[in-house]
């Protein structure tokens, strides 16, 4: 099924009905390796605004350089994230990718589509959530198969595409590139903030959703990191420095996430998500990416605070 229209940020769209989506899927319940997940079913027949075109995406791994979807037909809607309900409660809360053929542009006055319960069940029966006893199947697990690596030259070209497609203004993109360039210069002149310790301390605060916390200073956090800038396997990302010294509410505890590209579930301890804390991808790759992943915060990087 070919896409009928090219969507842009701000467009009002309606998620296609289950019977229409079913016709687009292959035997794996996917389109060009990008699965339609059971968690997406609740949005069928509902309307949302396109927030971004997925021009560049990154992933968690040894080489997290930006990648791109082959057919350039993927968008993001508002802040729709995967609930993980069909994947044993995964808490990664990934932004959901939408193929354009799963959507249709509508006007406010258009009559909403009716979702037939029987077709919904038929679609659900075609969707899989695992490929083995301990391996899950989702957009996160298949991200490497659904995308291609971008050369350095292509990454800069994609920055122009981001502006042309309306994902951001030219000024915003210039600021992103400047931020990335400044960090690269800092690394060459001063090195990274890795301390080289083989043993790192631990701290348990048992933080709960709604609690107010303050992110510790960069210096205090550095003292908890090993020579890979990690605290017991969890990377303190460069963009997280900007949150240091500020107050935030705990949004949720993070106990289990599916690892990008592998489908394996990883257990996390003493880790939380903070409200408004999203990945500062401009520090990791030139021009940033569209995925807007959440940041994971070890409790040892935080302290309880008062308003």
DSSP class of residue 151? -
Confidence (pLDDT) at 63: 59
Confidence (pLDDT) at 168: 83
Q: Which residues contact 215 (CB under 8 A, 6 or more apart)?
A: 221, 243, 244, 245, 246, 247, 248, 274, 297, 301, 302
| 117 pLDDT above the threshold of 80 | yes
| pLDDT classification of 89: cutoffs 50, 70, 90 | very high
* pLDDT tens figures, 170-223: 898 888 888 777 777 877 776 665 555 556 777 899 999 999 999 999 999 988
Q: What percent of the chain has pLDDT over 70?
A: 91
What integer is the mean pLDDT of 95-106? 96
Q: Which residues contact 292 (CB under 8 A, 6 or more apart)?
A: 76, 95, 278, 279
| 41 pLDDT above the threshold of 90 | yes
Q: What are 242-247's contacts with CB under 8 Å, separation 24+?
A: 242/280, 243/215, 243/274, 243/277, 243/295, 244/215, 244/216, 244/217, 244/218, 245/214, 245/215, 245/216, 245/217, 246/214, 246/215, 247/212, 247/213, 247/214, 247/215, 247/305, 247/307
Confidence (pLDDT) at 193: 58
DSSP class of residue 81? B
Confidence (pLDDT) at 7: 95
Confidence (pLDDT) at 2: 44
Confidence (pLDDT) at 56: 87
What integer is the mean pLDDT of 92-102? 96
Confidence (pLDDT) at 127: 98
What integer is the mean pLDDT of 39-52? 96
Q: Which residues contact 23 (CB under 8 A, 6 or more apart)?
A: 1
Confidence (pLDDT) at 199: 66
What integer is the mean pLDDT of 136-141? 97
* pLDDT tens figures, 244-289: 999 999 999 999 999 999 999 999 999 999 999 988 666 556 667 7
């Amino acid at each position: 099924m070919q896409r009928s229209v090219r969507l842009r940020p701000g467009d009002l769209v309606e998620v296609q009905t289950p019977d229409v989506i079913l016709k687009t899927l292959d035997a794996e319940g996917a389109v060009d390796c990008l699965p339609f997940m059971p968690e997406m079913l609740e949005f069928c027949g509902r309307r949302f605004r396109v927030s971004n075109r997925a021009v560049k995406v990154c992933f968690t791994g040894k080489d997290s350089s930006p990648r791109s979807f082959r057919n350039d037909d993927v968008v993001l809607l508002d802040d729709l994230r995967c609930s993980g309900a069909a994947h044993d409660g995964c808490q990664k809360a990934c932004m959901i990718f939408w193929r354009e053929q799963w959507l249709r542009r509508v006007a406010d006055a258009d009559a909403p589509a009716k979702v037939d319960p029987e077709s919904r069940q038929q679609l659900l029966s075609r969707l899989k959530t695992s490929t083995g006893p301990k391996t899950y199947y989702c957009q996160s697990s298949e991200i490497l198969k659904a995308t291609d690596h971008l050369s350095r030259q292509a990454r800069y070209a994609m920055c122009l595409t981001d502006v042309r497609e309306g994902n951001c203004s030219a000024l915003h993109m210039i600021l992103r590139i400047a931020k990335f360039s400044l960090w690269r210069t800092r690394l060459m002149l001063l090195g990274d903030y890795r301390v080289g310790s083989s043993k790192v301390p631990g701290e348990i605060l048992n933080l709960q959703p709604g609690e107010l916390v303050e992110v510790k200073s960069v210096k205090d956090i550095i003292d908890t990191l090993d020579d890979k800038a990690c605290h017991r396997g969890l990377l303190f990302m460069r963009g997280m420095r900007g949150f240091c010294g500020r107050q935030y509410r705990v949004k949720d505890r993070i106990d289990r996430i599916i690892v990008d590209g592998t489908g394996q579930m990883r257990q996390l301890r003493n880790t939380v998500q903070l409200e408004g804390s999203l990945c500062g991808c401009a520090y990791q790759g030139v021009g940033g990416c569209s995925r807007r992943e959440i940041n994971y915060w070890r409790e040892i990087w935080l302290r309880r605070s008062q308003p």
